[in-house]
Each structure stands twice: as C-alpha cells, then as structure tokens.
C-alpha cells in the first residue's frame, strides 16, 4: 500500500507534549518549514512562550492545554486542529515521564501513572487523530518511543514497560490500517539518550539526579527525524548511532548485553548531584521552569552519522552496494592469488 504524505508546508500538524524537549523543538521546526501547528501540553506557560516564539518568526500556531491521561482532553487537541485549520495531516505524540528506582521501591500508583502517560496517552493520541486522518484519506501518526522499547535498562522499569507495550500497539494498529487499505503512515521513532529536561523532571529514588548512559544527542536530531517521517512514510526510525549499536547487540546476544549493563548501567544513570525523592517532579503536574528544549548534558553530546544516511536512502544504499562490491572484488582477487 502506497502512503503519499503532503509536503510539510501544506500540512496541519498536532505536536503533543510540546512545552519542552523534543516536542518543543519539533513544533518550532514544523512552523519554520511552513506547517500550521497545533501545540499541546500540560504547561500553559510553556505553550504560551512557544506560540509567541513561533509567531515572532512568522509561523502559525495555536495552543491547547491538555493532560494526555484524559481521553476527552486528547480528543480536544485533534478537534481543535480541524476547527482552527480545517484539517489534520500529522499527529506527533511525545509526552513521557520518568521514574528512577528499583522495582521494590516503586509503589503501584507511581507505576500506573507512568503507564497512563507513556502508554495510554500514546493510545489516546492515535484514537483521537485517526478519525480525522481517515477522513483526509492519508496522513501520519508519529509516536516517539525510545530505544528502551527494544532493550530495557534497570532502574527504569515503568518507562521501559510502557515503551515495549507501545511497540506492540503500533504493530497491531499498522496491520489494521493495512487491512482497511487506509494509507496512514504509522512510525515508531526510537531515540537514544537525548539531552532534554526529562532528567530534571523525573521522579528519582536514587538519592541523586538521574542521568542516561552516554553519549547524548541533541533534541534537534530527533526533530529532524520527525520532520523527515512526516513527509516520507517510515515504519521505524532509530535516532542516534548509539541506539543502533544497542539494537544490533540486543538482536545478536541479549545475554551479553545483560552482562554489559550489569557492569555499567547502574553507575551511568546516576549523577553526583544530590536530589531527594521529595524534590519536584512532573509525574502529576508540569514544572514550568523546565519548559525548554535542552537539558543539562550538552557536554556529553555527540553527532550521529547514520541518521543522516537514513534520511538520504539513495546515498545510503549506494554506499552499501559499493562496499559489498569492493568486498566481493577483494575476495575474488584474493582467491585468484591462492595457489
């Protein structure tokens, strides 16, 4: 089934979770490329500053304050996009919260809250957007997951559980749409460690501010991937070369990866900055002070090579074909030299 998506400058895009981090950067980039943007999050101050920023460079944006754990509020995001701009072409769903603790230090209500936001919020987003995308006869559902949806880390069991379940949900949805012959692109974006305020906002029971195993990548890298898949139908998009390495190792030997994570992951998810479990976190309400794109780990950020290749498939496959050809030629020459 062919998915034909509109150019970005002809789209109406809803970006959910856009007050900070990846969502905020994606909303800015969509608006800069001419899309009409409906931005949403729990933080009204964050949305107000975002809409002001978009309008200052001539972009078009409208804000809806919403909590993704309440379906009617999520539905209102999609309905407002159609009411304001006449259509909905792309739905980008980014909200996520973090909880860093061992399983025996998490209470059931906390675990459930992470699932409600990180999984059910994603499900509600798809449910709210689908009727409008079906009416248009095409469009894109873009769900921001994580490489932790392919390979879990210790100390983040609720988050990893939600991200694994999200992949299962999207696989079911994708095949249902194919069965109905409805050309809606469903993309699972899986970033590596990204330098956003996620770690500032997380609830931690480690006694210190949490971190992610480095290296980190800037949110702009994920936003670039989101804009790419909004106009180029893509099943999965892994962001960050480190995430690709983890994905490959998980496929080759999960037990080896268990061993490596046992050696390093507990220490690498802890900073030296003390933080109490009673410190402010965003499990139940937003923290406007963290309504920004980048977090505190810029010194650990590196570039990613394969993201660029994935967004330029002709060059990527030409390079692969050339490499295979040179390898075969070398092997052939080697065989002729053997007596």
pLDDT in the model for residue 311: 87
Residue 330 has pLDDT above 60, yes or no: no
Percentage of the residues of the chain whose pLDDT score is greater than 70: 91
Q: Which residues are catalytic?
A: 159
121-168: pLDDT as tens digits? 999 999 999 999 999 999 999 999 999 999 999 999 999 999 999 999
pLDDT in the model for residue 310: 85
The stretch 206-217 carries a mean pLDDT of: 97
- 322: number of CA atoms within 13 Å, CB side? 6
Q: Is 142 helix (H, G, I), strand (E, B) or coil?
A: strand
The mean predicted confidence, pLDDT, of the chain is 93
Instruction: Show the DSSP H helices in the chain as ranges.
Output: 21-32, 44-56, 71-85, 108-115, 121-136, 157-179, 198-201, 219-231, 241-252, 254-268, 306-310, 313-337
Evaluate whether 189 touches 225 at the Cβ level (below 8 Å).
yes
> Sorting pLDDT into bands at 50, 70 and 90, what band is 317?
very low
Strand arrangement, sheet containing 36-41: 60-65, 36-41, 12-16, 90-93, 139-144, 184-191, 236-239
29-73: pLDDT as tens digits? 999 999 999 999 999 999 999 999 999 999 999 999 999 999 999
Question: Which residue in 148, 120, 237 sits closest to 188, CA to CA?
Answer: 237
Q: Quote the pTM value.
A: 0.91
Antiparallel, parallel or unpaired: β 208-210 and 270-274? antiparallel
């Amino acid at each position: 089934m062919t998915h034909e998506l509109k150019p970005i400058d002809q789209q109406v895009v809803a970006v959910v979770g856009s007050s900070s981090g990846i969502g905020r950067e994606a909303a800015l980039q969509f608006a800069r490329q001419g899309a009409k943007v409906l931005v949403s999050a729990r933080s009204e101050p964050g949305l107000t500053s975002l809409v002001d920023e978009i309008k200052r460079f001539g972009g078009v944006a409208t804000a809806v304050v919403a909590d993704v754990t309440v379906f009617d509020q999520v539905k209102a995001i999609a309905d407002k996009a159609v009411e304001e701009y006449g259509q909905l072409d792309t739905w980008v769903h980014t909200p996520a919260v973090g909880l860093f603790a061992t399983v025996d230090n998490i209470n059931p209500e906390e675990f459930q809250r992470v699932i409600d936001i990180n999984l059910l919020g994603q499900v509600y987003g798809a449910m709210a957007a689908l009727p409008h995308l079906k009416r248009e006869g095409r469009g894109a559902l873009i769900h921001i997951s994580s490489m932790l949806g392919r390979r879990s880390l210790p100390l983040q069991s609720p988050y990893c559980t939600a991200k694994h379940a999200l992949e299962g949900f999207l696989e079911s949805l994708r095949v249902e749409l194919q069965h109905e012959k409805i050309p809606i692109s469903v993309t699972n974006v899986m970033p590596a460690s990204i330098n956003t305020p996620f770690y500032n906002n997380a609830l931690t029971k480690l006694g210190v501010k949490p971190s992610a195993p480095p290296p980190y990548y800037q949110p702009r890298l994920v936003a670039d991937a989101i804009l790419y898949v909004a106009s180029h139908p893509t099943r999965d998009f892994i962001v960050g070369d480190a995430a690709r390495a983890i994905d490959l190792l998980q496929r080759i030997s999960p037990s080896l990866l268990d061993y490596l994570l046992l050696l390093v992951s507990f220490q690498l998810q802890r900073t030296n900055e003390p933080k109490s479990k009673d410190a402010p976190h965003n499990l139940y309400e937003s923290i406007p002070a963290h309504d920004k794109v980048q977090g505190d780990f810029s010194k650990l950020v590196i570039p990613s090579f394969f993201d660029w290749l994935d967004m330029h498939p002709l060059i990527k496959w030409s390079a692969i074909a050339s490499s295979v050809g040179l390898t075969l030629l070398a092997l052939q020459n080697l065989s002729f030299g053997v007596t």
